[in-house]
Structure 1
């Protein structure tokens, strides 16, 4: 084993430089053949093939998910570091969230660690995590115990900011259906109980409640079923509601409030309400300060300076939140476009295959690998990360 961490970091950089072209080819191959949630078969084959050829022990189909995988190297009772790879794309937009760069960076970090570290008392676990954009592969993997022995979960995300961590909210989806009674709107209107009117009233009620919601919380709904014909009073109407909260506790309070509003509308309109949570939900992200500082220091040597997120700004949700509720985790943003741009756009998809995307991927791979090496080799790092995680958990943060 190398004598000191500086030597390890230098070897990691050398290993990544030697693999830079291949990693970029992988990123472009993923970008050119985008696959949506739970259909990432080609991506999973590509990534597991690279890991297997490098000597990792690969397990495919983990947690009952056909496109999920783990790859492991190392031994002993030391720390376990997980590198998380996302590789699903957006319907119609391809890799407009840059997951091709996340996968290539995580792959590069894993290969560089394997080449640079040699035999250490600890292990590197590469976790292939499908369906971040919808379905929550990490949620399933957490529940299946994939992260039970992990001491640090590391990934980066391309974005429009250079931020040390990601202000990601908790989110879930709720389906609400109102059952009324069909009738002819002119022939026997008094016999009808209009389910669509009840659903519309719920939307109106939510518009009033929206003014009282705390920062980071909101409800966005759509009508998914509103009747079958204009000359029939709708017997059944249904809406799908996306809920977000700055914290998981705030989200649960919002879920409770939505249910109360729906039941109140049902009582007032003579309908019955059915309320169903249709997704397990993403928890809010809990940044690990110890690991995030290490990542920021390492990527600064690559010429990228990270800052704290702007207060009160929230940038969507991710199933990394569920991982961060289980183990110490990081999810820094590294910009591939300017702050006036946005992901989930054609422009962002183009940037994920452009020179700035390449630079962000390689710098992040280096920083991820060096952070992982610190956890494995620097005395007390894993313990400090866990201590920070426990303090936040105790504070409900």
Structure 2
């Protein structure tokens, strides 16, 4: 079989094309039966089964996560040498909103790309992985997969994300969730007011303090909190109060500094109010996304052939956080943003969930599958691509970007 890149790109697109109807069926099946973080049992079975039927060796329950899997074809990593490419699939949905982030499209595009590359290349020179990554919206499946070494031998981690912009990469912040609990002393607020130590008052004071802090935070950093336990009755001074705080930083180091600021504020409030405070992490922390410009440029060029041009993100705009950040700081990775509705819309809304099953979504899914597959071909067959991608990652790491 010819290894001419142009002929392989054509073959890849043909392979996606013959599977387009089935890929859309898979996408709609996920959309009809949304499953939230760590509960994506039907989705994982469906996707792993599709890969298995086309010759992939599938390992389920990876990293101790029942809904994570790794499908492999080609040589075992390191056995024959050659690059290792991972195509990433997300498939968790949002509570009450379903696929309002379009993860059904991420899953079907990654699936289509994996199947097309295997069919087009036959005996793959290197290793192709299709990685099922649960719980992006809450908990961070990729954080666990990174910790389990799934990406240790990977040279390129490829995925796309549907959205309301056509951007070559996604400005994603680092994030963490912290639980803050204040312990006071219960008392009757009228009968023995001096005996009480108001834990809820301390928590409210922390919110006020963080409001002052928020005004001087750098771009991309902020704190958002909610009260998760504010007491049980109005005639009892609350002995315990608890808040959950979401923290974001433009970089991972900025996030770490913000976490320490919150801890310092909590300790100060506890000292001032004679309460005792506990601060603990909830779930894994997401690192900021480190775009690989070499791979992103290749993806953008391939997507442009489908009539979808990508541009650079708007300066100073951040799109949120994702556990792809934890992958991108370790191996070359991409996370382009491709619109399935106009810029006046927003993801995480009922309208976006509807758009994720619409005609524009099908067009984007097919085009993204083709572009991901062609980018994977570039990495697998052109050694200089992987070399330049790694050089770019190392340069950004050295600069702290």
Instruction: Please confirm whether the aligned pair reaches a TM-score higher than 0.5, indicating the same fold.
Output: yes
Aligned to 1:263: 267
Is contact 2:73-2:124 (8 Å) kept?
no
- 2:254 pairs, out of 250, 269, 272, with 250
1:146 to 146, 150, 168: 150
Q: Does 1:340 align with 2:340?
A: no
CA distance in 2, matches of 1:227, 1:187: 18
Q: Is the 8 A contact 1:290 1:385 kept in 2?
A: yes
Displacement, 1:233? 1.0
Q: Please name the residue that 2:311 is paired with.
A: 307
Which residue is 1:156 aligned to?
160
Residue 21 (structure 1) aligns with:
21
Contact 2:249/2:258 (8 A) holds in 1: yes
Separation in 2, partners of 1:85, 1:250: 28
Measure the CA separation in 2 of the matches of 1:230 and 1:361. 53
Contact 1:80–1:152 at 8 Å: present in 2 too?
A: yes
| Candidates 208, 222, 241, aligned match of 2:245 | 241
SS in 2 for 1:330: coil
**Alpha-carbon deviation of 1:279?**
1.9
Q: Distance in 1 between matches of 2:52 and 2:301?
A: 31
Residue in structure 2 matching 1:166, options 165, 170, 180: 170
For 1:296-375, list aligned pairs within 5 A: 296-375=300-379
Q: Aligned runs of 1:195-214 on 2, under 5 Å? A: 195-214=199-218
Q: Secondary structure at the match of 2:271?
A: helix
Cα RMSD after superposing both structures = 0.8
Contact 1:2 1:117 (C-alpha < 8 Å) held by counterparts = no
Instruction: Report the equivalent of 1:390.
Output: 394
Q: Partner residue of 1:58?
A: 58
SS at match of 1:380: helix
Alignment of 1:2-13 (within 5 A): 2-13=2-13
User: Is the deviation greater in 329-338 or in 67-76?
Assistant: 67-76
| Cα distance in 1 for residues equivalent to 2:270 and 2:363 | 55
> 1:219 maps to which residue?
223
Contact 2:118 2:124 in 1 (8 A): no
- Counterpart pick for 1:186 among 190, 203, 214: 190
TM-score of the pair, normalised by structure 1: 0.99
* Structure 2 spans left out of the alignment, 5+ residues: none
In structure 2, distance between residues paired with 1:153 and 1:20: 23
Superimposed CA distance per residue, residues 27-70 of structure 1 (whole angstroms, 9 cap, x where no aligned partner): 11111111111111111111111101100011111111101001
Give the aligned partner of residue 299 of structure 2: 295
Secondary structure at the residue paired with 2:83? strand
Residue 244 of structure 2: SS of its match in structure 1? strand
Inter-partner Cα distance in structure 1 for 2:81 and 2:184: 61
4+ long deviations beyond 4 Å = none
Mapping of residues 38-57 of structure 1, within 5 Å: 38-57=38-57
- Structure 1 distance, partners of 2:123, 2:228, is 56
Partner of 1:136: 140
TM-score, structure 2 as length reference: 0.98
**How far apart are 1:181 and its partner, in Å?**
1.3
1:201-247 Cα shifts (integer Å, max 9, x gaps): 11111111111011111101111111121111111111110101111
**1:272 CA drift (Å):** 1.2
* 1:230 equivalent in alignment to 2:251: no
Q: For each residue in 1:73-92, what CA deviation from the matched residue of structure 2 results, as whole angstroms up to 9, or x when unmatched?
A: 11221000000000111111
The DSSP-based 3-state class of the residue aligned with 1:370 is helix
1:3 deviates by 3.4
Alpha-carbon distance in structure 1 between the residues aligned to 2:54 and 2:96: 34
Deviation of 1:170 after TM superposition, in Å, equals 0.6
Question: Which residue of the partner structure matches residue 286 of structure 1?
Answer: 290
For 2:383, what is the secondary structure of its paired residue? coil
